Structure 1
């Protein structure tokens, strides 16, 4: 279950093109008041700015509590000793500018510069929006520490093999130091909102900007944005065609599961027992069910595309998370840092090894 409450997900995220794509899984009208966060068409830039990016981050001095004489003391510590606050010039705390008691996103060196969401995520994509590209989703989570804007095409594309998808341009950043400001291309399988790698042999193009005073914001051109989106579409369609052309027998699928979810201890080579065996059996059963019966993979059963789709879908929507983990945040982090791309590549290479050995 997400740490983000349903109220937060229904007010701090905006979901576009619902007349063509449907509602998000967390949709609850009772949490949205008079202003729904779902839009039948594109999300207006003004709404993203007003509803999500209507505040700025600020860098504040950090002070350290030091021993002091009675004359120097500004207060007393928990033990009653005289102490004083001493500012550390090498550190800055990142907070909301107008929030006097809010969350401290992080403490960084004096060179750290917070990338304002309105400038880095919105202004940098605003000028590329037209009939072909529009804002499909945007959000601010983790009490303001992470934000994104996703630009996409309104209508899904369809490959000759029957796979519907949307190419996207994702702009995202954080204020807690966990991620550089990133612009990258992604692909979403329409039936399940999985973000897929566009080429199993290499990473998709992306640009990253560190939170440093030496980094400067360079605006994307409309031509560059369209090129990113539509070359992504071509690459993904080619990937789907290639994977759908690779046959996978029942024995090969079983062999893939044996390698992907091994039933033996990697150190000793002994068969797993007890709770460890139960975890492996459950995961194997979940993958097999996706491969055979789920609409996100089953229509292409018997091909490499179904294998990769089953693995990707399992990681996005099914695989158990640690207690208290946030699936929405986890998926966003993996999408941006390339973990989903690496997963697709690893699944394909594992399958290649099984096919070559059979």
Structure 2
């Protein structure tokens, strides 16, 4: 199914039922008095987090959601039935905004979470409510209030612990496929990945984390070039970024370390907060270099990259170094969980400090 990460819908809560004007009519009771009942409350519209969904594609086909109206009141002091609430399932990670004002209404971050987006109307009052010692035959009633109606903008930000970052063909999809059961498209041309992919990485018993892959970035992405900038928001929720670098680009005149500066520049142009997330460098495709060339690259990395930044060398195709990288990521996540922090600089035993 095509990945859809934005949608605009209209929600309409049910109106409240109107109050009833009625008088008791029974044999031998000539002045029975008012007995009009109240209306029922209108149903509300809720968004419900569903971890079985990972796209907003269903909202391409249905864009309006309306809860049930409250029933009008009846004679003999009978209250109208309240309208049934409407629950609209959305993927976990969906942010909800008012489409007209841009105000953020809420954020669905876990399965089963309910978010009220349209309040049902209040019930009207029947004429029995207006009976008093001075008004024994009231003929007034109160109508129900209208239910809320609003246009909503839904934005899906995938929930992942680790995000993969890099230029097109850096090997992000290959790495995701190597360490998880995900089946991203892999080919020898740029922009093979057209939408985010998620995979669960299992390191050991009861040890796992979620990894996200987004389309590759290119220079000028912050101004709209390429595809990756559209999906950078999906990395905003991640706790650690793995920045993959192709150490053997097809063009021999291209410096692999220039790719680092290109991606960092686009991150900073897009979001300062995203650029400040913990980021590890991962030198990929090392199976294409001999030991001497790889050692020279490490030396150049040490002179150009910020000191203390973790650097790993792997081959996503052969699996060399991948297990050590995943174990270090798992340790980093566990240590930050224990410390109660979202950021961290724990590189693990197998990291190389540039």
TM tier relative to shorter chain: under 0.3
TM-score (norm 1): 0.23
Bigger radius of gyration, 1 or 2? Answer: 2
Higher helix fraction (1 or 2) = 1
TM-score (norm 2): 0.23
